DNA sequence: CTAGAGGGTCACGTTAGCGTGAGGGTCAAT
DNA sequence: ATTGACCCTCACGCTAACGTGACCCTCTAG
């Protein structure tokens, strides 16, 4: 499929899809006229990318993570390292949430 | 105290402290020579600001939140609104963490 | 053959939270 | 009076993930 169709099907802008290619996250084939041609599993990959961005990962982390998540490159060491990475990031988010909850409790105290 | 001392005591750069003033988060008095003069509770406020930045809030949210957190402006409506804001943000962080944990589980599945 | 829909590559604009000089007063001490 | 430690105000630089034209090509339909 071409970039317009992928954009419509995923809700991700054409600009963003080109950006993903720039970052090496989702690199499509090229037709003889230079048009980007995406394979059938592209929408799934785009969804994964969006989820990871939304979770606060940056392009570098996602680039390293994606091939492993797709079952490619069964490099056990890399996958283990990435699991550690994700666990650490999740822990960070947990402490951030705790900070906010504490502040909320502080306000509750002020209100009494 | 002057900006240098506050910077040392908090570990926050002078540039950042001037930025906080720009954003209306921590506005010091001025000596006759134009030097910024911070009050005794400034280090505590700086710590709060840092915590909220670290938790992912932006300057606007912190500006609205700080007076309430310090016990100033006992505006009950505003405080309630801010509690809602913080709860929402904490929930967002929770879902982000869940996303990462799911991805980690997906990798675990690949490894088997 | 001409119009329109869609595709391509630059390349600058945006937001946030500072970093990093440039150029220049202020203050205490020697 | 000169040094050195601080202070001030611009004001440009940086990173990230795109938005938004500008300008040109390609394909299909009437």
Lowest mean per-residue pLDDT among A73-82, B38-47, B76-85:
A73-82
Q: Which of chain A's residues 34-73 bind strand D, using a 7 Å CB cutoff?
A: 34, 53, 58-60
Predicted TM-score (pTM) of the model is 0.84
Say whether pLDDT at B73 is over 70: no
Quote the pLDDT of residue A72. 67
Q: What does the pLDDT read at residue A30?
A: 97
pLDDT at res. B83: 86
- Give the residue, B103 or B70, on which the prediction is more confident: B103
Nearest Cα of chain B lies from the Cα of A46 at a distance, in angstroms, of 15
Region B51-72: mean pLDDT is 85
b/e burial code for range A54-66 (CB count within 10 A of at least 16 → b): ebbbebebbbebb
State the pLDDT at residue B34. 95
Beta bridge partner(s), residue A37? A29
Distance CA B72, CA B68 (A): 6
Q: For A27-86, how does the pLDDT look when each residue is reduced to its tens digit (9 = 90+)?
A: 999 999 999 999 999 999 999 999 999 888 999 999 988 887 776 666 677 788 888 888
Which of A68, A99, A111, A112 to mutate: most B Cβ within 10 Å?
A99
Q: Of B94, B25, B98, B89, which is closest to residue B55 (Cα–Cα)?
A: B89
Average pLDDT over residues B44-54: 92
H or E element: which one contains A75?
A: none
Mean pLDDT of B21-41: 96
pLDDT at residue A74, as a whole number: 61
CA distance B111 to chain A (A): 7
Contacts of A104 in chain B (CB under 8 A): 83, 86-87, 90
Residues of chain A contacting B81 with CB distance shorter than 8 Å? none
Other beta carbons within 10 angstroms of residue A72's beta carbon come to 10
Q: Looking at residues B7-13, what average pLDDT do you find?
A: 96
| Contact between A76 and B111 (Cβ < 8 Å) | yes
């Amino acid at each position: 499929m071409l970039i317009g169709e992928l954009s419509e099907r995923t809700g991700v802008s054409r600009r963003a899809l080109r950006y993903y290619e720039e970052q090496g996250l989702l690199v499509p084939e090229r037709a003889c006229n230079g048009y980007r041609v995406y394979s059938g599993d592209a929408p799934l990959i785009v969804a994964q990318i969006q989820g990871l961005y939304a979770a606060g990962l940056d392009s570098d982390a996602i680039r390293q993570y994606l091939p492993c998540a797709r079952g490619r490159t069964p490099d056990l060491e890399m996958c283990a390292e990435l699991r550690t990475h994700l666990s650490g990031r999740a822990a960070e988010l947990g402490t951030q949430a705790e900070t906010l909850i504490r502040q909320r409790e502080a306000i509750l105290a002020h209100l009494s």
